Chains A and B, each alone.
Chain A
């Protein structure tokens, strides 16, 4: 991805977002009382103003992107193995999704232990024993602090119930 591509993609993205906001999102998801006489004081005014400015920023980005020369130099350092990098990222997305499902069911401590282990192995740790040890200890220490010192009601789950 070159500097020009970044600028153009951002510009078109901002333009699309502004159009989506103005045409669909604001009318559908922002409600305003019918008796608001003055448009400036309406709850709709601020979102519409922001979507307008987003559109302007998008136009500016497209315009400046078109003026840039395409040097062919990528803006980000390329990964050694892009396929593996994308797979790892997808793996991380799955871990995050599963975390949201597991938190209310397994409780925070057990879920944290599992995601610690999963993440450590996802990034191919060279210290597997330490990873397993930390995966057990760190969630327990955090539980002890937040539950007993900070007084936070940490979700317990059905399998593991801690004092």
Chain B
């Protein structure tokens, strides 16, 4: 199928009002969800997922992608107006956004955040379109040993960079892998930790686990401290962003976008480190470096470009390799699975219409983001006024309905509650939840590929180092471990490192 044929197939799939409406609604829900302090883009995507069950696959996935895109931008609104990032990715935006709001320039900061976000979004989407197909065609030559080493590398990097400590990340990933062993054995069909309960034989429901891990802990945190997230929103001020501001920050926006694309395409790194790296690069190279941290519009542009540049790029490993790059794409992979689709290289052959439909939808989402973002900036006051102590019970009820709807099974609601407490304890003990969830999703795939490799080789482990691709992933895994351990050692000695608060 030629490029034009694929494009036409994609267009025929999404060229209807239903798809664009879903995308528009998704961006709007995401912006609102991201803008509500105490919610997050992750939670918004997780809570929207159950509503996609009744939709066509492409419509449902576009809705979720819209929520993702909107949520990342939405997080910058409370970051600038009330100094509380709506999503962790917006933490860097506070550095210059809030000082601008204090000076009465919140409208200008938000305008620049929107313009930078949309620019980065376009660059990120174009990178996805350019690289995903290429990577997928390369991945077609992967066999079980290559996939085993790829997943192992992904889990290592996710465990290493998701939290404050490699060991806590590794523990989190191991717990996720252990949880994934529940159910019938993949080869022999014997019971593993099912306790004779038929509900456990198919393994734990993925949606119940993810909503339990990412929504219920927020409810429990609210119950623990009901007056958290209360802040006073600054007024927008009279100044608005000008084209001259945009032109002056353009270099930082493009640089930040490419930083986002690069870091986003590596599984596990996520938007927050990208935003901070983009910000620090902008500060290092800017003519106004002394204004950074005091309300510099270029700082807002750089951090927003950094975090939005990630949004499209995290879909590169998801679509091309079937490996989710972060928690949100892990939720989106769930949407694919619910609709009977398996992201990965074969999808570029079997479901090319869906792939190109998604590409078209993503490009359009940048336009929707611009339109909805402009309105959302002015309407934030109403979002901020939503009583959190009404919102939280509503989220709880929505979780119950959503989780039940997956399998029409009350047992799943119980699984969600239990995972909620596990997630809350993980928050209290500073164990990152992302490696847990991603390991839970990739666990069966990791084990399956390992056992297939062993079957192929007659249990000879040398098959796991059979060629340059496996060597590459083993080398990358080792390098990742060395780099993270080194960062930990540097932290012990007091040398500044990326994020090591804890020494391993």
Residues in A lying within 8 Å of B, measured CB to CB:
1, 3, 6-7, 9-10, 14, 21, 25, 29-33, 36, 38, 40-41, 43, 46-47, 50-51, 53-54, 57-58, 60-61, 64, 67-68, 75-77, 79-80, 85, 88-89, 91-93, 96, 99-100, 103-104, 108, 112, 115-117, 119-120, 122-127, 130-131, 134-135, 138-139, 142-143, 145-146, 149-155
- Quick check: A134 and B394 within 8 Å, CB to CB? yes
B453 CB to closest chain A CB, in angstroms? 10
Q: Which residue of B lies closest to A29 (CB)?
A: B193
- Quick check: B404 and A33 within 8 Å, CB to CB? no
With A40-B459, A134-B394: A122-B400 Cβ-Cβ less than 8 Å = no
**A93 neighbours in B (Cβ, 8 Å):** 421
Residues in B lying within 8 Å of A, measured CB to CB:
50-51, 53-54, 165, 167-168, 170-171, 174-175, 177-178, 181, 185, 187-188, 190-195, 219-220, 222-226, 387, 389-390, 392-394, 396-398, 400-401, 404-405, 408, 410, 413-414, 417, 420-421, 428-431, 447, 450-451, 454-455, 459, 492, 501-504
**A79 neighbours in B (Cβ, 8 Å):** 224-225
- Quick check: A50 and B181 within 8 Å, CB to CB? yes
> Contact check: which of A14, A99, A149 meets B54 at CB < 8 Å?
A149
> Contact check: which of B219, B393, B400, B430 meets A108 at CB < 8 Å?
B400
Q: Considering residues B392, B397, B428, B459, which has the most beta carbons from chain A within 10 angstroms of its beta carbon?
A: B397
With A9-B429, A29-B192, A88-B223: A50-B167 Cβ-Cβ less than 8 Å = no
Q: Which residue of A lies closest to B391 (CB)?
A: A134
With A41-B459, A85-B225: A47-B502 Cβ-Cβ less than 8 Å = no
A64 CB to closest chain B CB, in angstroms? 5
**A89 neighbours in B (Cβ, 8 Å):** 220, 223-224
With A112-B400, A120-B393, A127-B387: A43-B188 Cβ-Cβ less than 8 Å = yes
Q: Which residue of B lies closest to A95 (CB)?
A: B396
Q: A131-B390, A134-B393 provided; 4 other pairs, C-beta below 8 A? A: A79-B225, A100-B410, A127-B387, A143-B401
- Quick check: A10 and B429 within 8 Å, CB to CB? yes
Q: Considering residues B171, B190, B195, which has the most beta carbons from chain A within 10 angstroms of its beta carbon?
A: B171
Q: Which residue of B lies closest to A45 (CB)?
A: B451
- Quick check: B404 and A152 within 8 Å, CB to CB? yes
**B450 neighbours in A (Cβ, 8 Å):** 46
Jot down 8 A-B pairs with beta carbons below 8 A, ordered by A: A38-B454, A50-B178, A89-B223, A92-B220, A130-B390, A152-B405, A155-B404, A155-B410
With A60-B167, A146-B401: A120-B389 Cβ-Cβ less than 8 Å = yes
**B400 neighbours in A (Cβ, 8 Å):** 99, 108, 112, 115
> Contact check: which of A7, A25, A36 meets B193 at CB < 8 Å?
A25
Q: Which residue of B lies closest to A127 (CB)?
A: B387
A101 CB to closest chain B CB, in angstroms? 10
- Quick check: B393 and A116 within 8 Å, CB to CB? yes
With A50-B174, A50-B181, A61-B168: A130-B192 Cβ-Cβ less than 8 Å = no
With A30-B193, A127-B390: A100-B503 Cβ-Cβ less than 8 Å = no
- Quick check: A123 and B222 within 8 Å, CB to CB? yes
With A57-B167, A60-B167: A116-B394 Cβ-Cβ less than 8 Å = yes
- Quick check: A75 and B430 within 8 Å, CB to CB? yes
**How many angstroms from the CA of A125 to the CA of B390 in the assembled complex?**
7
- Quick check: A108 and B389 within 8 Å, CB to CB? no
A80 CB to closest chain B CB, in angstroms? 8
With A79-B225, A100-B417, A125-B389: A36-B394 Cβ-Cβ less than 8 Å = no
B378 CB to closest chain A CB, in angstroms? 24
**How many angstroms from the CA of A14 to the CA of B492 in the assembled complex?**
23
**How many angstroms from the CA of A49 to the CA of B191 in the assembled complex?**
17
- Quick check: B392 and A7 within 8 Å, CB to CB? no
- Quick check: B459 and A30 within 8 Å, CB to CB? no
**A112 neighbours in B (Cβ, 8 Å):** 397, 400-401
**How many angstroms from the CA of A112 to the CA of B54 in the assembled complex?**
22
> Contact check: which of B185, B192, B389 meets A124 at CB < 8 Å?
B389
> Contact check: which of A43, A51, A64, A126 meets B387 at CB < 8 Å?
A126
**A1 neighbours in B (Cβ, 8 Å):** 428
**How many angstroms from the CA of A105 to the CA of B387 in the assembled complex?**
31
**B195 neighbours in A (Cβ, 8 Å):** 29
> Contact check: which of A32, A53, A108 meets B404 at CB < 8 Å?
A108
> Contact check: which of B223, B390, B431, B502 meets A134 at CB < 8 Å?
B390
- Quick check: B191 and A30 within 8 Å, CB to CB? yes
Q: Which residue of A lies closest to B169 (CB)?
A: A57
Q: Which residue of A lies closest to B55 (CB)?
A: A150
**How many angstroms from the CA of A73 to the CA of B410 in the assembled complex?**
42
**How many angstroms from the CA of A145 to the CA of B224 in the assembled complex?**
31
Q: Considering residues B53, B185, B223, B501, which has the most beta carbons from chain A within 10 angstroms of its beta carbon?
A: B223
**B396 neighbours in A (Cβ, 8 Å):** 115-116, 119
Q: Considering residues A9, A79, A122, which has the most beta carbons from chain B within 10 angstroms of its beta carbon?
A: A122
With A50-B178, A103-B410, A115-B393: A123-B226 Cβ-Cβ less than 8 Å = yes
**B455 neighbours in A (Cβ, 8 Å):** 41
Q: Considering residues B167, B188, B190, which has the most beta carbons from chain A within 10 angstroms of its beta carbon?
A: B167
> Contact check: which of B174, B181, B393 meets A119 at CB < 8 Å?
B393
